[in-house]
């Protein structure tokens, strides 16, 4: 290696490392100088790709169409010979997952032409710029773009004597360049790789872009923000964290939506977990499950106060069997299961019972009458006198002893028995001097983490 060639190679590789990021250019570590270039092309907006397998066992799983913002890179591996650039061109291979071997062969031929035009001078920057900025035009690739893959990963054009590509350029059978590599293992693997890469690049682009939060009016990078994809609104994580923590502590898990007025986009569970942390997310998950169970008509709850586990109601049966505590109960009166014996309905019923129904009830079947009456009974006098609604899920709670600090066994909400305020774990002044006394303020925040 002459001194001039050695200096030219060193200067060229240093220049490439300073121009391109580590994701785009990485110098080789070995006996021969060189490197690897990963070149992502800038696609037109709404770029559509499709994949149709030419396999004899073609299935719908091998056919795919989607709009993508990014495609996997063209990979240029370079090794510089001792007499480059004075005499010999760089040794290289060109690989890609979504370009055929024929298309990659055309690109290899053009890189050779660029070397012939600049023989004796460094050429790597010209190669990289051509591949990055002119590949789509050179190969006449436009949306929609179809990637045809056969069962063995070799393109269909090799099955025929000749194939015409890119505005009259003719490639004959067997004319593939050995430096051109289409890196395709299978159609499903290719589809997964393209989608995963596009999502990762979108996230990387979003993280580097600044956004203005409409809550704090501060400008932050996307890496510090949350993006609601259905509506495209962006808010900073600090504001969303405070907003969602208050909602979860209040038991309002159905309100974890985009803060934009009248926007119906909802935060995903993954977004909520990243914002509020493991502990609050566990509460959010429990409340969300509870909300789903409450909306199911065939789910009742074990009437035992210490259990209250969800029980699936059997069709055309009045018996419920708790799988947790093994308690068999009547789903109508919530008492121990009594078979065909009539329910013992409490004498005092809620005021909203229809008195005029009593004349017609005599003509109804006894079980139908009991079921209809039991469904109308919302609160009996015992519930009115002995329970209070949980401020988190509104379930009736009985106080059977201890201090005034309660803990809902259904939604896990801590609250004060006297004022029904939810207890937050903060450094603010407490509402009570002690939990057996009267509330001294209804505007302060209670703290503590015990339970009855």
pLDDT surpassing 60 at residue 428? no
CATH number for the domain whose boundaries are 299-378: 2.20.25.20
pLDDT at 129: 94
Residue 160: Cβ within 10 Å count? 8
Indicate the domain borders of the chain: 3-199, 209-294, 299-378, 386-452
pLDDT surpassing 50 at residue 167? no
pLDDT surpassing 70 at residue 4? yes
DSSP letter assigned to residue 266? B
Residues catalogued as catalytic: 403
Task: Say if 3-199 and 209-294 have the same CATH topology.
Answer: no
d(CA 203, CA 226): 11
Number of H helices, E strands in the chain: 9, 22
- Cα–Cα distances (Å) from 204 to 23, 50, 208, 213, 271, in that order, read 12, 24, 7, 19, 17
CATH number for domain 209-294, candidates 3.30.40.10, 3.60.10.10, 3.40.50.920, 3.40.50.1100? 3.30.40.10
Closest CA to 173 of 190, 185, 187, 155: 155
Dump pLDDT digits (tens) for 215-258: 999 999 999 999 998 898 999 999 999 988 888 888 777 778 89
pLDDT surpassing 80 at residue 333? yes
Question: Averaged over 437-442, what is the pLDDT?
Answer: 48
Question: Averaged over 273-301, what is the pLDDT?
Answer: 80
Dump pLDDT digits (tens) for 375-414: 444 444 556 667 887 887 667 788 777 788 887 766 667 8
Weakest mean pLDDT among 3-12, 189-198, 306-315, 407-416 = 407-416
For residues 364 and 325, the model is more confident at 325
Burial class (CB in 10 A: 0-12, 13-18, 19+), 409: middle
Closest CA to 64 of 79, 48, 41, 75: 48
For the chain, give the mean pLDDT.
Answer: 77
pLDDT surpassing 60 at residue 19? yes
CATH number for domain 3-199, candidates 3.90.1150.10, 1.20.1250.20, 3.10.110.10, 3.40.50.720? 3.10.110.10
């Amino acid at each position: 290696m002459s001194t001039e060639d050695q200096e030219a190679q060193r200067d060229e590789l240093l220049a490439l490392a300073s121009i391109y990021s580590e994701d785009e250019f990485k110098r080789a570590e070995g006996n021969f100088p060189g490197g690897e270039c990963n070149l992502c092309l800038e696609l037109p907006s709404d770029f559509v790709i499709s994949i149709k397998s030419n396999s004899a066992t073609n299935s719908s799983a091998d056919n795919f169409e989607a709009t993508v913002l990014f495609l996997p890179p063209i990979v240029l591996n370079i090794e510089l010979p001792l007499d480059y650039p004075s005499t010999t061109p760089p040794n290289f291979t060109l690989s890609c997952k979504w370009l055929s071997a024929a298309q990659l062969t055309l690109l290899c031929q053009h890189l050779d032409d660029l070397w012939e035009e600049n023989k004796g001078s460094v050429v790597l920057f010209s190669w990289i710029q051509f591949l990055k900025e002119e590949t789509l035009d050179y190969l006449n690739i436009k949306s929609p773009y179809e990637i045809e893959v056969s069962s063995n990963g070799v393109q269909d054009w090799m099955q025929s004597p000749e194939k015409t590509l890119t505005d009259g350029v003719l490639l004959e059978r067997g004319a593939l360049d050995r430096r051109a590599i289409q890196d395709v293992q299978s159609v499903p693997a290719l589809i997964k790789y393209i989608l995963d890469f596009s999502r990762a690049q979108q996230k990387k682009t979003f993280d580097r872009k600044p956004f203005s939060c409409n809550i704090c009016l501060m400008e932050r990078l996307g890496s510090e923000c949350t993006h609601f994809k259905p509506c495209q609104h962006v808010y900073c994580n600090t504001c969303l964290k405070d907003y969602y923590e208050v909602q979860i502590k209040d038991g309002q898990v159905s309100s974890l939506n985009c803060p934009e007025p009248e926007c119906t986009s909802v935060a995903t569970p993954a977004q909520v977990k990243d914002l509020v942390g493991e502990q609050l997310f566990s509460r959010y998950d429990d409340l969300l499950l509870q909300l789903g169970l409450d909306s199911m008509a065939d789910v009742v709850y074990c009437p035992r106060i210490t259990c209250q586990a969800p029980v699936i109601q059997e069709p055309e049966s009045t018996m419920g069997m708790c799988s947790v505590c093994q308690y068999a109960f009547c789903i109508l009166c919530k008492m121990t299961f009594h078979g065909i014996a009539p329910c013992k309905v409490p004498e005092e019923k809620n005021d909203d019972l229809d008195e005029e129904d009593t004349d017609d009830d005599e003509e109804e079947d006894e079980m139908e009458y009991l079921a209809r009456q039991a469904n109308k009974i919302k609160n009996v006098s015992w519930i009115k006198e002995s329970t209070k609604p949980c401020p988190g899920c509104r379930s009736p709670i009985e106080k059977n002893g201890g201090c005034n600090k309660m803990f809902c066994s259904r939604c896990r909400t801590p609250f004060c028995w006297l004022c029904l305020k939810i207890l937050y774990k903060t450094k603010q002044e407490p509402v009570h001097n002690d939990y057996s006394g009267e509330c001294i303020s209804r505007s302060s925040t209670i703290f503590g983490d015990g339970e009855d």
